């Protein structure tokens, strides 16, 4: 594991202002488990927003047949009515778009939102589905063999992890 | 020999018995069940994990409740469910069990949920079906009823959290009960320090001690200070000869009444796998009382069966 020279804290500040620009009066923030959930939690505090939600892709993944089920994977907590709400999804890294696809299906199991938009810390390209982020704090190229993810230390500060292979 | 329920990575591919399952696998199933419980609160009470899969419910022995909960669980996972009442089907025309399975496999079954009056029938099926096919034991003879065992563990964990300080009493017809056997294996694997089996000598043989339980023929001794009381149904249909003087006599000695329940801990929970025989093994006031968790058991049973089916379907042989 190595640390990429990407300043996650600086990117977070950019994300916070980007998210501010996307907010409507009744927008609900929903963080994608797990990195996106940390971001949403901090954004809720910093931007003084209403209670955020957390959503997991586990029950709608398209690789269930090959990877099976992750135990206790249902982290979805949506403490508000989804029906008719403007939902802003938050994630750390946008890559193939498959997680976002799964999460949108998960969201619709709870009701019909008025709209769904996506803001991410990093867009690493490599999309396999027509998914688009309304805001990304950085666009970077990462070799396909590497796995990029957000880490959070005990003080709540963010950094990036890169793992070789899968 | 490797446990036939696990693949070479130690992952569950069939659920045949709780005996021999590692503690971590049991906890993982219970954790997964917990995440499925909340699916019931959604607008859409269905997840697509088994979409496009066919689950065959093969009930060689009658059961409405277990079959229904398996059917609901499979449908909540988006599987296609085919119910076969084999008791009234080809076997009466002389077809062997393995021929039946071969025929159903040719119909592209992905999972068999099997109940059979012969102990070991689900093992035989698991050994002879194609590698991509998964088998769940829904009760075989007197041997095992692992999903009932797991849902009982889910219920206990839900109300008592920690297994390591509990006293659990299983009361009634232990000798005919596959539920008792599955519960005993699960409780000892999960580290419950005191498991008691309680009932008359004809229904609670002394050699059960070898399973690591305390045998009590006196009801008061058996349930005193218990945290959990699991009452079993008196299985009249499995009894031959004079195992019991009468149902009335049984109720007098071993039926759970408010009076006897007072011997257990004040916060003890009362469980029963159903269907209950009111006035035979349990008094109505206890079955409907504040300490009864019999109906939550049924709700948890669906989530537990969803966890079992989705877990084994996601692992390969």
In chain A, whose CA is at the least distance from the CA of B309?
A69
Does the pLDDT at position A162 exceed 50?
A: yes
Report pLDDT for A1.
44
Q: Backbone phi, then psi, for B174, in 5-degree steps?
A: -75, -40
Compute the mean pLDDT over every residue in chain A, rounded to the nearest whole number.
Answer: 91
In chain B, whose CA is at the least distance from the CA of A58?
B49
In chain B, whose CA is at the least distance from the CA of A109?
B44
The chain B residues in contact with chain A (CB within 8 A) are 11, 28-29, 31-32, 34-36, 38-39, 42-44, 46-49, 310-311, 314-315
B62-78: pLDDT as tens digits: 888 899 999 999 999 99
| Pairs of CB atoms within 8 A across A/B | 51
Pairing of strands B214-216, B194-198: parallel
B31·A72 Cβ contact <8 A: yes
Residues of B whose CB is below 8 A from A74: 34-36, 38-39
A46-91: pLDDT as tens digits: 999 999 999 999 888 888 766 777 655 678 999 999 999 999 999 9
In chain A, whose CA is at the least distance from the CA of B27?
A71
What number is the ipTM of this complex?
0.72
As a whole number of Å, the CA-based R_g of chain A is 15
Q: What percent of chain B has pLDDT over 90?
A: 72
Residues of A whose CB is below 8 A from B13: none
Least confident of A13-17, A134-138, A144-148, B75-79: A144-148
B148-185: pLDDT as tens digits: 999 999 999 999 999 999 999 999 999 989 999 999 99
Which class for B125: exposed (0-12), middle (13-18), buried (19 or more C-beta within 10 A)?
A: buried
Helix (H, G, I), strand (E, B) or coil at A129: coil
Does the pLDDT at position B34 exceed 50?
A: yes
Nearest to B43 among A64, A65, A109 (CB): A109
Q: Which two tokens stand for residue B311?
A: 């877990």
B44·A110 Cβ contact <8 A: yes
In chain B, how long is the greatest CA-to-CA distance?
Answer: 57
CA dihedral (B153, B159, B161, B165) positive or negative: negative
Report pLDDT for A111.
93
B48·A67 Cβ contact <8 A: no
Least confident of B51-65, B225-239, B256-270: B225-239
- Rounded to a whole number, what is the distance in Å from the CA of A103 to chain B's nearest CA? 12
Long-range contacts of B90-99 (CB under 8 A, 24+ apart): B91/B60, B97/B121, B97/B124, B97/B125, B98/B124, B98/B125, B98/B128
């Amino acid at each position: 594991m190595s640390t990429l020279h990407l300043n996650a804290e600086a990117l977070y500040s950019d994300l916070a202002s980007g998210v501010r620009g996307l907010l409507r009066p009744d927008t609900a923030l929903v963080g994608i488990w797990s990195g996106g959930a940390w971001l949403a939690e901090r954004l809720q505090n910093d931007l003084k927003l209403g209670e955020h939600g957390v959503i997991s892709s586990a029950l709608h993944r398209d690789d269930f047949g090959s990877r099976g089920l992750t135990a206790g994977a249902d982290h979805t907590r949506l403490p508000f009515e989804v029906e008719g709400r403007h939902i802003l999804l938050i994630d750390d890294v946008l890559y193939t778009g498959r997680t976002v696809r799964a999460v949108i299906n998960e969201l619709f199991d709870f009701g019909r939102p008025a709209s769904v938009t996506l803001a991410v810390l990093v867009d690493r390209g490599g999309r396999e589905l027509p998914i688009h982020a309304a805001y990304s704090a950085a666009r970077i190229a990462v070799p396909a063999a590497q796995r990029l993810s957000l880490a959070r230390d005990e003080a709540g500060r963010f950094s990036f992890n890169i793992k070789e292979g899968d | 020999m490797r446990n036939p329920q696990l693949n070479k990575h130690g992952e569950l591919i069939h659920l045949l018995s709780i005996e021999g399952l590692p503690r971590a696998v049991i906890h993982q199933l219970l954790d997964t069940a917990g995440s499925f419980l909340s699916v019931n609160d959604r607008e859409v009470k269905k997840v697509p994990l088994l979409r496009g899969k066919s689950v065959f419910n093969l009930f060689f022995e009658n059961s409405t409740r277990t079959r229904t909960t398996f059917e609901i669980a499979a449908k909540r996972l988006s599987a296609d469910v085919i119910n076969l009442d084999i008791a009234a089907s080809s076997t009466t025309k002389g077809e062997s069990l393995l021929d039946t399975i071969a025929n159903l496999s040719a119909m592209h079954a992905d999972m068999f949920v099997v109940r059979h009056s012969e102990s070991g029938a689900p093992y035989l099926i698991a050994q002879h079906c194609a590698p991509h096919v998964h088998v769940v034991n829904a009760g075989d003879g007197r041997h095992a009823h692992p999903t009932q065992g797991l849902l009982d563990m889910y219920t206990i964990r839900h109300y008592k959290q920690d297994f390591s300080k509990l006293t659990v009493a299983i009361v009634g017809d232990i000798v005919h009960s596959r539920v008792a056997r599955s519960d005993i294996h699960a409780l000892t694997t999960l580290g419950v320090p005191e498991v008691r089996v309680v009932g008359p000598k004809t229904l609670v043989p002394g050699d059960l001690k070898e399973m690591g339980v305390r045998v009590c023929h006196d009801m008061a001794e058996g349930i005193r200070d218990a945290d959990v009381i699991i009452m079993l149904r008196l299985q009249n249909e499995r009894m031959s000869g004079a195992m019991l003087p009468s149902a009335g006599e049984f109720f007098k000695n071993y039926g759970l009444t408010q009076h006897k329940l007072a011997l257990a801990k004040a916060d003890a929970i009362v469980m029963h796998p159903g269907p209950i025989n009111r006035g035979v093994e349990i008094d109505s006031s206890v079955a409907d009382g504040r300490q009864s968790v019999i109906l939550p058991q049924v709700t948890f049973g669906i989530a537990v069966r969803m966890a079992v089916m989705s877990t084994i379907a996601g692992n390969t042989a």
